Structures are given as C-alpha cells and as structure tokens.
Amino acid sequence: MNILVCISKSPDTTSKIAFTEGNSKFDENGVQYIVNPYDEWYALVRALELKETIGGNVTIITVGNAGDEAIIRKALAIGADNAVRIDAEPTDAYFVATQIAAYAKKNAFDLVLTGKETINYNGSQVGGMIAEHLELPYVSLASKLDVAGNVVTLEQEIVGGLQVVEVNTPVVVSCAKGMAEQRIPNMRGIMAARTKPLEVIAPESIELFTQYETYQLPDAKKACTMIDPANMESLVELLHNEAKVI
C-alpha cells in the first residue's frame, strides 16, 4: 500500500497569538512550530499502522520553506519512509492542495491522508481540493480506517451522528480523533530520520484564489462577574436583562 500523508506546520497549541507588520503577518517571534496535531496523531500514525500490518510505503509531503525541515524530520522520526517538500510559501489552501495534487498525479498512491484541519487556519479545505483535482472520492472527518485488499472501510462523522462507508482505493481521507494514538519518536527513529530521503521540488505556478489580508485579535474580555452560588435567581436575571441570551 502506497500512502501519501500531507502534513503542515502549526504553532504549538500553547503559543501566544500575535501579529506584526500592520497586523498582516503572524508574529513568529518565540513561536515553536510543531507538526499540525491532526496530521501527525491521526493521519501519519494510522498510515504507519497500516504499513506495519499490510506493508507498503509512507511518504510525507508538505508545502513550505527550508525552515520546515524540523517538522519534516520529526515526521520521519515517527516512522515515515521518505519526505517531499514543495519549496514555496503556503499562501492558501488552494495553493497547497494544487501543489500536492500535482505531485500525487505523477505518483500512484492508494491512499492520500490529511488531518481534519490545521489548528492555525481551521479551513478543512486541502483534502477535498486534492480529491477534486485527482477526481477521486473523498471521505472527510474519518475516525476509523481499515483496509482489506483494495476496499477501504471508514467510520466518519456526519451531521448528528456517525456512518460506516466502504470505498475502493485510491481515495482521499481527512483524519479526525479516534483513528490512532499519538506516537513519540524514539532515539533510533530520530537517528534514522537524519538520513531518510527528503526530496525538494519546485512549485508549479498557480493562480491566486484568496489572500489573507489582515488579522485581528478578539476584543479583550471584560472581567468575569462573580455570582453568589446561593443566588441563582440573580444569574438568571443577568442572563435575561444584561446578556439578553434567555
């Protein structure tokens, strides 16, 4: 089974979110980048589990600059076989998906996995866009993934519930919680990652669809109004007259 796992970098979940250059850029000062958790814990680890049980190869791919080598090596240390970096600034989801789809078209993958979304842009777009480029079925927000021959069985979240679906390979899947558990790379993995192949390829020229113009932090929250636990009538009164939510 030949598996492509799309990874993205995202700021550590505890990072302070701030912006610079007239609020047009994310302030990277002091920010620690990690592999986007959905890409790592669910997509990559499930791909490795499949490889361990049925054999195959796991390629990771990212769109980013040379500075992203650290997260690529981390993913290789967890166990991916080889990596591809498309050497470009990932400006929006369409750009990223189109670059990855162009690579995937030239290489026959049975499974293309993404995380359900990145924790910085939360768009949930890249998987669906890759699928449309490749004219493949797409199963989004899958929480289980099993393979028997060329049939993939998945459990996915649907509006108000869950469903189990079957689809033939090749297929694109976005991975959510439940699919696998986090793996910590061991020393052998870290050493091996240093010499695993990392291919850097030039980006395709792609039309600009959208642009992040400016960023804004939410207004500072006013201090919490404390209510006497014995007087819930006053809380109800405030929710009705002040907050106007009931």
Partner 1 sequence: MKTLVFINSNHFAAKASLEVITYAKKLGGEVVAVTYGSQEGADQLGAYGASKVLVDNSLTVADEQQITKLVASAVESTGATTVIFSHDLVAKAVAPRLSVKLKAGLISGAIALPETGNGFTCKVNVFSGKAFATVSVKTDIKIISLLPNSIQPENIGGSAVVESFNANVGASAIKVVSTKKPEGSIPLPEAELVVSAGRGLKGPENWGMVEELATALGAATACSRPVADIGWRPHHEHVGQTGVAIRPNLYIAAGISGAIQHLAGVNGSKVIVVINSDPEAPFFKAADYGVVGDAFDVLPKLTEAIKKFKNAN
What residues numbered 146-175 form the site for partner 1, per CB under 8 A? 153, 157-168
Binding flags for partner 1, 105-124, as an x/- string (CB under 8 A): --------------xxxxxx
User: Contacts with partner 1 in 202-241 (CB under 8 A)?
Assistant: 207-218, 221-222, 224-230, 232-233, 235-236, 238-240
Out of 33, 140, 175, 180, name the contact with partner 1 by CB under 8 A.
Answer: 140
Structure token pair of residue 206: 């792609």
Burial of 69 by CB count in 10 Å (0-12 exposed, 13-18 middle, 19+ buried)?
Answer: middle
- 211 vs 116: CA distance, rounded Å: 21
Contact string 53-82 vs partner 1 (x = CB under 8 A): ------------------------------
CB of 17 to partner 1, least distance (A): 5
Pairing of strands 2-6, 57-64: parallel
Residue 171's beta-bridge partner residues?
111
DSSP state of 76: H
In whole angstroms, the minimum distance from the beta carbon of 164 to partner 1 comes to 4
Q: Can the peptide bond before residue 170 be classed as cis, meaning omega within 30 degrees of 0?
A: yes
Is residue 111 within 8 Å of 1, Cβ to Cβ? yes
Q: Which stretch binds partner 1 (CB under 8 A): 46-54, 69-77, 137-145, 196-204?
A: 137-145
In the set 97, 112, 147, 175, which binds partner 1 (CB under 8 A)? 97
